[in-house]
Amino acid sequence: MNIKYTVSNKEYTVTGTFASPKGLLATTNDKREDGQPIYISLATRPDLLAMIATAETEEKNKAAKIKSRWEGYEQIKKAQNIEEGNHRAFEKMMETGSSIYRGEKTESTGVLLAKYPQAAAYMALESMSYAAHYAKAGIANRYITRVDNDELMPIEALKKAQDDWSKEAEQEVLNS
């Protein structure tokens, strides 16, 4: 969330909010002369509070729309979370020496990934965007944006992202 807001003829970019003992504050990217961040009290700025609420709602709606657009996305995420929980429960059982293991039953993530290839490709792009290598993450983010803007389908975007990353990695090897 980046909201432009003007206070006393100075424009700020609000990047988020947090609660403090003084009430709800908005954080900005801007700094005071001493290098400390600038915070704006939302108690004295109801108009800014309304702008932030609207921006947060729009951001959540956009994210929900993107995620729901790919059939099976939510099912795959849920199955992954259940499988991870089952894995943790099994590890805990083994550590404590208990003989009782109660894992939740779910459809296999592998089956769901095969059943919903567009959602699987989108999730692979998301995973690639979390890469530690900035160029790989940047390539993935570029293609996620194109998918979100309906320029490409996820499978096509994933293939192109992987190709771009292969070229980038090969170039880095040749340059080193």
Q: What pLDDT, in 10s, does the model give residues 104-145?
A: 888 888 999 999 999 999 999 999 999 999 999 999 999 999
Give residue 69's pLDDT: 76
Residue 95 sits in the same domain as residue 48 = no
User: Mean pLDDT throughout 136-161?
Assistant: 93
Show which of 109, 128, 162 is a domain's final residue.
Answer: 109
Show which of 69, 85, 100 is a domain's final residue.
Answer: 69
Instruction: State percent of the chain over pLDDT 70.
Output: 85
Residue 17 sits in the same domain as residue 36 = yes
Give residue 163's pLDDT: 96
Sheet holding 37-41, edge to edge: 3-7, 10-20, 23-31, 37-41
pLDDT over threshold 80, residue 148 = yes
- The gap from C-alpha 94 to its chain's centroid, in whole angstroms, comes to 33
pLDDT over threshold 80, residue 19 = no
- Which residue spans within 32-147 are E strands per DSSP? 37-41
Residue 63 sits in the same domain as residue 88 = no
Residue 11 sits in the same domain as residue 32 = yes
What lies within 8 Å, CB to CB, of 99 at 6+ separation is 93
Taking the C-alpha atoms of residue 82 and residue 76, their distance in angstroms, rounded to an integer, is 10
Give residue 10's pLDDT: 63
Residue 65 sits in the same domain as residue 75 = no
Give residue 108's pLDDT: 87
Give residue 62's pLDDT: 75
Model pTM score: 0.61
* Long-range contacts, stretch 85-91, CB < 8 angstroms, 24+ apart: none
Give residue 93's pLDDT: 85
Give residue 58's domain range. 3-69
Residue 53 sits in the same domain as residue 41 = yes
Taking the C-alpha atoms of residue 17 and residue 20, their distance in angstroms, rounded to an integer, is 10
Residue 42 sits in the same domain as residue 7 = yes
Selection from 123, 88, 130 nearest residue 109 by Cα: 123
Give residue 22's pLDDT: 66
pLDDT over threshold 90, residue 86 = no
- Regarding predicted confidence, which is higher, 139 or 96? 139
Residue 25 sits in the same domain as residue 40 = yes
pLDDT over threshold 60, residue 14 = yes
Residue 85 sits in the same domain as residue 35 = no
Residue 13 sits in the same domain as residue 54 = yes
Residue 51 sits in the same domain as residue 18 = yes
User: Structural domain tally of the chain?
Assistant: 3
Residue 126 sits in the same domain as residue 80 = no
